Structures are given as structure tokens and as C-alpha cells.
Amino acid sequence: MLEKIQETANYIRNKVGNIPEYAIILGTGLGELANAITDKREIPYNEIPNFPVSTVEGHSGKLIFGKLGEKEVIAMQGRFHYYEGYNMKEVTFPVRVFQALQVKYLFVSNAAGGMNGSFDVGDIMLIDDHINLFPEHPLRGKNFNELGTRFPDMSNAYDKNLRLLAMEIAKENEIKLQHGVYIGTSGPTFETPAEYNYFRIIGGDAVGMSTVPEVIVANHAKMQVLAFSIITDIGIIGKIVEVTHEEVQEAAKIAQPKMAFIIKEVIKRLN
């Protein structure tokens, strides 16, 4: 595993040269944020040694290097999911490569179903915390001390200072920003009404099929994490309607310019 991580990191370093401190993972329907990146250099996933390849519509499968505002960034346009058949080591492999490339900040986005009664479709939720309901843990198995400690602390999984900065930027620019706990599940089915109700009872505000594995590994790697959900459907008793993947993508596209602005401004104000 360590050899594969290093091989992939060396390939990317040789292709790109200087590696940014900022990495962004773009979720379902959120790949358009990549259009805000200038001076782009792109590497398709299928050209990168050891990299999985995304099989989901709305995940185009490219690693993008360029500028978001004045700062250099790496962006994953398309991520990998447990429901695609990948194991958790494969799902989180890109984060391990970012670690080897000495990325310091990880920004994560996803499309999610909202269970909080104050949420509307198209809202942006700043993730304050998560509940991990995936059946496999990304740190299961032998621990490599080179990658992180055996029992990593998760009390600040979503960095408090980054969240405060995002809140400040949203307030300054009159962007509505919700807050909440994200529940990560394996998918690929959307939730039943009873499951939505259960997730709300145990403390969830939004639910999705990604993010949690990457955030766990990023914390293991001592990265600072900021993450957002775009609420693309509502799972509240009495308001639940049938939802399609296409509708999720469309709702995400409408909301993403505001999320992109917040991420861009946070990066601008760091360092």
C-alpha cells in the first residue's frame, strides 16, 4: 500500500511539479465548480497509476490542477464510492496520495438528503460533525505509523477554525448557510421514509453515500477539513417525494456557485 501511494504521488509530482496545499473533492453534480479553476492542467484518472476510476454519472473522473482565485489547488472532479464495489482503502486512496503530496487542507462537497425541518432543496449545509454508518471502516486493518496513529482523535474532524471562517464569509455575502450533522451510509439506494426518520432521531441533519471515509482518512493524515452538503432532496415525514439521480444533479448544479464562492474565499484568506 505504501509503495502504491508513493508511486502515484511521484507520477503526479513529475507531471505537475509544485503541488498545492489545498485539495478539493467534488461530489455528485458538483463537478461544475471545476469551471472556476483557471490555468488548468488535467489528468484523467485512468492515466494515474493505482487510481480507481469513477463509474457514476455526474463524476467525470479527472484530477485538475490550477488556480482558484489566486491560490493553486488540486481538485478531484469525481470521487469513488463504497457502493461502486470499491473497498474503503480504494475509496480513500486519493486522500492518501494527497497526504504523500503534503496537502494541508481538504475541502469536501457532496449532495445529500435533508432531514432537518428547516432545510429546503438547494440549501448549503456546513458539516459540523458526522455519524459513520458505513459497514467498513477506512482505517480497519494494519496501521502504518507513517500514515498516522492507530487511534486518531475525531473531536475536531471538521476543523472549527475553518468552519468559523466559512460562516463569516457566508454572513458577509448574505449567503444562507445551514449547519448540521452528516450521516454517511453505504447506498446505493435512496433512503426509505423510516430510514430518514431513524437518521433524524439519532441526530442527523443530512444523509449521503460519501464524505465520511475521506474525512476519517484526512484526519488520520492530520489534514484540516472543511465540508459542505448541498441539500438536493428532503426526507422529512410528510414531505418525502420520489427522487431520481438526475434531480439530485440538477439541484446541486443550481446551488454550487454559492458553495464555490465560499470555498474560494476561505482558501484566499488562509495563510
Encode pLDDT of 213-226 as tens digits: 999 999 999 999 99
Q: What is the pLDDT of residue 42?
A: 93
Burial class (CB in 10 A: 0-12, 13-18, 19+), 14: exposed
Tally of domains within the chain? 1
Task: Of 40, 44, 42, 102, give the one whose Cα is nearest residue 67.
Answer: 40
Q: What is the pLDDT of residue 28?
A: 62
| Cell representation of residue 255 | 446551488
Q: What is the pLDDT of residue 56?
A: 61
Supply the CATH number for residue 30's domain: 3.40.50.1580
% of the chain at pLDDT higher than 90? 70
Does 35 have pLDDT greater than 90?
no
Does 5 have pLDDT greater than 60?
yes
45 and 64 Cβ atoms separated by less than 8 Å = no
Q: What is the pLDDT of residue 184?
A: 98
- Distance between CA atoms of residues 114 and 231, nearest Å: 6
Q: Which domain holds residue 160?
A: 1-269
Exposure class string for 187-217: b at 16+ Cβ within 10 A, else e:
beebbeeebbbebbeeebbbbbbbbbbbbbb
Which has the higher per-residue pLDDT, 249 or 221?
Answer: 221
Q: What is the pLDDT of residue 240?
A: 60
Residue with cell 484540516: 224
Entry pTM: 0.93
Strands (E), the chain: 22-26, 38-44, 62-68, 71-77, 105-114, 124-132, 177-184, 206-208, 224-234
| 3-class state of residue 96 by DSSP | helix
Q: What mean pLDDT, rounded, does the chain reach?
A: 90
Bond preceding residue 188 cis, omega within 30 of 0:
yes
Q: What is the pLDDT of residue 27?
A: 77
Q: What is the pLDDT of residue 29?
A: 57
Confidence of residue 162 (pLDDT cuts 50, 70, 90): very high
Q: What is the pLDDT of residue 256?
A: 83
Q: What is the pLDDT of residue 206?
A: 97
